[in-house]
Chain A
Amino acid sequence: MRVRLIDLTRGLVQENPLLRLMIGLCSALAVSVKVENTIFMGLAVIFVLTLSNIVISAIRPVTPDNIRIPIFLVVVSSFVTIVDLVLKAYFPEVYARLGVWIPLIVVNCIILGRAEAFAYRNGILASTLDGLGMGAGYTLVLIVMGIVRELLGTGSITMMGVTLISLGTGFQAPTFMITFPGAFLTFGLIMGALNKAQSALAERAARRATGSAGRPTPVGGV
């Protein structure tokens, strides 16, 4: 079995589950009010996604096609239960804040989607890499959103009771950023920035390829 780097990196940008595939959004919008939450949530998703990918890929030969979805769900919910119990036991505060979103990982589109679209069709190693990459892509976006929203919405970033960054007392934090509309706005702007950056890169590449100066001037009107 060949190890392909693309299986790992695919989830980071070009097929980022949040920004590109646009799946698993509700948990991302909900938990990104605080950086601390996003890290735990991200780790939980990486854990569940990778392990369920491995198991689903491994039991491929014995999985009947007709009832594969229930089987996926059983596998995924086993791992989610593990995460749920571990968090409850060792990080009760975090668990209290993440609340319902941990059990909801069971029905997270990313996990079921990758199981169906990737793990069920690929080898164990590739599925492992895919799980890690997709999970990392999810976590990355989550952390960026968390930083933007917590910093602007509360004026500081606090983790495990320690204030890491503060914008000072003179800063009147717009609480809008930690509301739900603020989550949509942040997410939309990040997605817009990524699209803009990608089209700029593609344009530069195209310009280099053709050797011409700039894109053709668009013709306005009729």
Chain B
Amino acid sequence: MAGGGNLVVTVSPHIKSPETTGSIMRLVLLGLLPATLWACVLFGISGIAVIAISVITALFCEVTWHNLRDGKGTGRTWFALVSSLVVPIGVSAAGLGRAAPAAAIALMSAFILSEAGISRQGERRHSFDGSAAVTGLLLALVLPPLVPWWIPFVGAFIAIWLGKEIFGGLGYNVFNPALVARAILVLSWPAHLTAGWFRSLGIDATSKATPLMLAKTGAAADLTAYYAPLLLNNPGGCIGEVSAFLLLVGGAMLLWKRVITWEIPVTYLGAMAVASVLMGVDPVFHLLAGGAVLGAVFMATDYVTSPVSSRGKIVFGIMCGAITMLLRVYSKAPEGVTSAILFMNMVTPLIDRSTMPRPFGVVRAGRGVRK
């Protein structure tokens, strides 16, 4: 016969969209890139260190967990885990505190590269879908730039192991892993997580409070003065809060590439604006300040932990925005994005169930089909 045998028989469809989980994750990373690069410029080595540790640790956590789960290279994985914990502590104890993060990064990178690059007999090389890198980067972006190096390190373990893998891995986690990590870090080391804002450029070398904190305590009378810095070069805030404008640029790219849809970001920010007007606070300031844009564009739109249907996304976004403003105005803490999104993550399955689309041709009570 013409084919000479060996025809592939698979189930339909026989063509597939070029999009894969990996390609989507790469686009998300690309969307975060403008703000990340600008943060690296503004915060210098301290910002770069936090980002690097967070991302590399997240990848390291994914590789080690998968290895142990699959019973692959158990010995060398345990060795890598223990050494990447012990060596930095040892270096630190020897009085070389600054070398500790470098040692950790070097050890973990070496392990990640060897697992991804070297093929061993009878084993498949580790293939990255990029989700751990996204989680790691998002985690870094919600941390202050001057946190001790071990905060992103521990945070990435929490995010990947407790936030994601323990539920069954990508797709099964209930909560956004990066936000789980942030929530636990804030409860654990509140002193580190609510200080360490820093600005390396400009006259004001260190500012002790974020604009949101100042607004909360009433220390900042004229909030309009913060509009421009919040949009372009936030003087005090998490790494990812440097520039609402650059985050929106990245978000626009994701929208254009159809990685995210408009529903959640628009309804999230819209609900925040409406709620702040109702509560009598400055809507522009609240949209720009803190993690609102980062949360609405990159955190709340996390596929795994947000509803799948269009109507569900709208409900999700509105609730997120409303809860954020409630927390910002009426709770003790100045910021409410993390808690709002985590709370809504929890009710996502419920939203999904109650916003099930009407199947074609099915007539539901009270909603007729044109005939």
> Footprint of B on A, CB under 8 Å?
170, 172-177, 179, 181-182, 185, 192, 222
Contacts and interface: CB of A to CB of B under 8 A. Distances in A.
Contacts of B162: 185
22 contacts: A170-B93, A172-B189, A173-B188, A174-B154, A174-B184, A174-B187, A174-B188, A174-B189, A175-B187, A175-B188, A175-B189, A175-B190, A176-B184, A176-B185, A176-B187, A179-B187, A181-B183, A181-B184, A181-B187, A182-B187, A185-B162, A192-B166
Contacts, number: 25
Contacts of B11: 222
B166 A176 contact: no
Q: What 5 A-B pairs come out closest when comparing CB atoms?
A: A174-B188, A176-B188, A176-B187, A176-B184, A179-B187
Majority SS at the chain B contact face = helix
Given A170-B93, A174-B187, A177-B188, 8 more contacts: A174-B184, A175-B189, A176-B188, A181-B183, A181-B184, A181-B187, A182-B187, A192-B166
Contacts of A175: 187-190
Contacts of A176: 184-185, 187-188
B183, B185, B187, most chain A CB atoms within 10 A: B187
A172 B190 CA distance: 11
Interface of B: 11, 93, 154, 162, 166, 183-185, 187-190
A151 to B, nearest CB: 14
A99 to B, nearest CB: 22
A222 B188 CA distance: 44
Nearest to B151: A172
Nearest to B184: A176
Nearest to A188: B166
A176 B185 CA distance: 8
A172 B89 CA distance: 13
A185 B163 CA distance: 11
A85 B183 CA distance: 41
A174 B93 CA distance: 20
Nearest to A185: B162
A176 B186 CA distance: 8
Contacts of A173: 188
A175 B186 CA distance: 9
Contacts of B154: 174
Nearest to A179: B187
Nearest to A153: B188
Contacts of B184: 174, 176, 181
A126 to B, nearest CB: 39
Contacts of A181: 183-184, 187
Contacts of B183: 181
B25 to A, nearest CB: 21
Contacts of A177: 188
Nearest to B166: A192
B61 to A, nearest CB: 16
B66 to A, nearest CB: 15
A175 B154 CA distance: 14
A174, A177, A181, A185, most chain B CB atoms within 10 A: A174
A222 B93 CA distance: 53
A222 B185 CA distance: 41
Nearest to B154: A174
B238 to A, nearest CB: 19
A170 B93 CA distance: 9
Contacts of A170: 93
Contacts of B190: 175
Nearest to A214: B71
A192 B162 CA distance: 12
Nearest to B183: A181
B154, B162, B185, B188, most chain A CB atoms within 10 A: B188
Contacts of A222: 11
A94 to B, nearest CB: 26
A177 to B, nearest CB: 7
Contacts of B187: 174-176, 179, 181-182
A221 to B, nearest CB: 10
A222 B10 CA distance: 11
A177 B158 CA distance: 13
B91 to A, nearest CB: 13
Contacts of B188: 173-177
Nearest to B93: A170
Contacts of A185: 162
A179 B184 CA distance: 10
